Structure 1
Amino acid sequence: MQVVLNSVSQRYGKTLAIDGLSLTLKSGVTALLGPNGAGKTTLLRTLATIMPPQYGSLHIGGAEVVDERGARRIRDRIGYLPQAFGFDPQMSVADFVTYAAWLRGVPSSRWRGAVDEALEMVDLVDRRRDKMRKLSGGMRQRAGIAWAVVGRPGVVLLDEPTVGLDPRQRLQFRKIISGLADAVVVLSTHLIDDVAAIADRVVVMHGGVARFDGSVVELEATARDDLPGHTPLERAYMHLLPEAEQAV
């Protein structure tokens, strides 16, 4: 599976959210870093085919996404977890994840096995009959991750997936992501230590453009000691933000 963006731009009214972005995404974990308003969520929504490119082109698995009809044909290959995801509070956890499997086109004969696998990955097997409304925030977030990975889609998109997770659950999340090595995984996060632990590639966005695209080691190499941060990776990230330069 390969995802290719070529000179993609997206606008909200007069606001340019993504500005001529070109990326080729392959199997592995790509982390999106950047401040609020950098274009990360818009990029994930574009990759999820919720908003096909207004300018430029998007190809997923060789198929170009140009309109809603084309998007529907490839959505069964995509697992997407937005930052604020909706759910029926009366649904059980198992029904919630089964619904995702149905939307993704997983054959009904595989639903039980696929759902069990996804719930096991997020350590919610013993909660499969619980109502979604009764889950804690962290458990609900884990159910959302199960929604995104059920059926093992070729593209997994996660917007701030570790929000609400405690340290043990974040370690479990890293294990889950490590088990998706064959998929194109793109996650947006503000947690630098998660990036250091699981990312094969880092894209730092600001103002709708990619200010950096490379490995964690390559990003660390850009660190400057005169900028704030507890680790070289944090200082390297700060180095890429114009406001950090102005503050020095």
Structure 2
Amino acid sequence: MQIALHAVSQGYGGRTIIEGLSATLRPGVTALLGPNGAGKTTLIRTLATILPPRSGEIHFDDLRVVNERTARIARSRIGYLPQDFGYDPQMTVTDFVSYAAWLRDVKRRDRQQAVERALNLVDLGDARRMKMRKLSGGMRRRAGIAWAIVGDPPLALLDEPTVGLDPRQRLHFRKVIGSLDRTAVLLSTHLIDDVGAVCDRVIVLNNGAVRFEGSVSDLEALSRDDLPGHSALERAYMRLLPEEEQRL
């Protein structure tokens, strides 16, 4: 699947957050980078069809999202993990992920296997009968990742998914995301080392506009030794920010 945004604008009330943004997502992992307030979460919410764009077009292959009917069709193709996701505390982990599979129109005969695969991928197979309210923060975050990837959706939108994960869990997360070769994953993160480890492409946002879209190696090539950062990727990212934000 290819997901394309053409001249998309978005905002809240009288405030414009994104203006004239165009980008393309394909199978593989695309990092979404940018400082706080750059428009990352607004872009993800727009792609998730929670917020209809003020102007511009969103296409899921040949499906153009123009109304609630086409948005519902698109949602069946999307796995979405927001920074703060809701859940019924009385649900078991299996019930929670099964509900996501049902929402995504995973066929009933395939649902149990899809749920088991998602739980095993995030290392929650042994916790499948636990209530959501009893999970630790890191386990709950992994349940959210299982929610987003169950049924191998064509598009997975992950907004800061590694918040609350310890280093071992973050390494496991990279392995999980790297296994989703048929899914276009958009990974919003502040962790540059995750980008270098798992991502194929990068989109850098600032002030609601795309400052860079390309491969990780192309971004790394923009690095300059006189900029702050512990790696070439960090220095390249800093180069794309306004001059006043490059200072530490």
TM-score range, shorter chain: over 0.9
What residue identity is the alignment partner of 1:25? L
**Cα drift, residue 246 of structure 1:** 6.4
Instruction: Give 2:124's aligned residue.
Output: 124
Separation (CA, whole Å) in 2 of partners of 1:108 and 1:245 = 51
Structure 2 residue runs of 5 or longer lacking an equivalent are: none
**Structure 1 counterpart of 2:51, one-letter code:** M
- State yes or no: 1:220 paired with 2:220: yes
Matches within 5 A, 1:131-150: 131-150=131-150
Residue-pair matches, total = 248
Using the alignment, how far apart are the partners of 1:246 and 1:191 within structure 2? 17
Distance (Å, rounded) in 1 between the aligned partners of 2:241 and 2:2: 29
Please give the per-residue CA displacement for 1:157-183, whole angstroms capped at 9, x wherever unaligned.
Answer: 100011111111111111111111111
State the SS of the aligned residue for 1:37. coil
1:111 corresponds to which letter in structure 2?
Answer: R
SS of equivalent residue, structure 1 residue 87? coil
In structure 1, what residue type is equivalent to 2:68? E
Partner secondary structure for residue 30 of structure 2: strand
Q: For residue 71 of structure 1, report the CA deviation from its aligned partner.
A: 0.2
How far apart in 2 are the matches of 1:42 and 1:29?
19
Task: Tell me the distance in 1 between the aligned counterparts of 2:244 and 2:212.
Answer: 15
The residue type paired with residue 170 of structure 2 is R
- CA distance in 1: counterparts of 2:106 and 2:240, whole angstroms: 42
Aligned equivalents of 2:96 and 2:61: distance in 1?
27
SS at match of 1:96: helix
Residue segments in structure 1 that go unaligned for 5+ positions in a row: none
Deviation sequence 1:9-65 (CA, Å, 0-9, x none): 001122211110011111111100001110111111111111121101000121011
Q: CA deviation at 1:208?
A: 0.2
**Farther-moved stretch of structure 1 (101-110 vs 82-91):** 101-110
Q: Helix, strand or coil: the match of 2:51?
A: coil
Match of 2:55 in 1: 55
| Whole-Å separation in 2 of the counterparts to 1:63 and 1:221 | 36
- Structure 2 match to 1:237: 237
Q: Residues 246 and 35 from structure 1, CA distance in 2 versus in 1: closer, same or farther, beyond 3 angstroms?
A: closer
In 1: Cα distance, 2:94 partner to 2:138 partner: 16
Looking at structure 1, the residues matched to 216 and 105 of structure 2 have their Cα atoms a distance apart, in angstroms, of: 35
Kept in 2: contact 1:5–1:59 (CA 8 A):
yes
Evaluate the alpha carbon distance shift between residue 108 and residue 231 of structure 1 in structure 2; reply closer, same or farther with a 3 A threshold.
same
Question: Do the aligned residues in 2 keep the contact of 1:10 with 1:17 (CA within 8 Å)?
Answer: yes
- The 3-state SS of whatever aligns with 1:74 is helix
Work out whether residues 238 and 244 of structure 1, in 8 Å CA contact, stay in contact via their aligned partners in 2.
no
Give the ranges of 4+ consecutive aligned residues of structure 1 lying more than 4 Å apart after TM superposition: 243-246
Superposed counterparts of 1:65-76, under 5 Å: 65-76=65-76
Percent of aligned pairs sharing the same letter: 66
The alignment yields a C-alpha RMSD, in angstroms, of: 1.2
After superposing the two structures, state which structure 1 stretch, 92-101 or 211-220, moved more: 211-220
Aligned equivalents of 1:73, 1:204: Cα separation in 2: 28
Q: Is the 8 A contact 1:65 1:71 kept in 2?
A: yes
Equivalent in the alignment of 2:79? 79
* More displaced 10-residue stretch of structure 1: 115-124 or 105-114: 105-114
TM-score, normalization: structure 2? 0.97
For 2:182 and 2:115, the matched residues in 1 are separated by 19
Q: Is the 8 A contact 1:64 1:70 kept in 2?
A: yes
Offset of 1:244 from its aligned partner?
Answer: 4.4
| Corresponding residue number in structure 1 for 2:93 | 93
- Following the alignment from structure 1 to structure 2, what is the Cα–Cα distance between the partners of residues 213 and 158? 18
* TM score, norm. by length of structure 1: 0.97
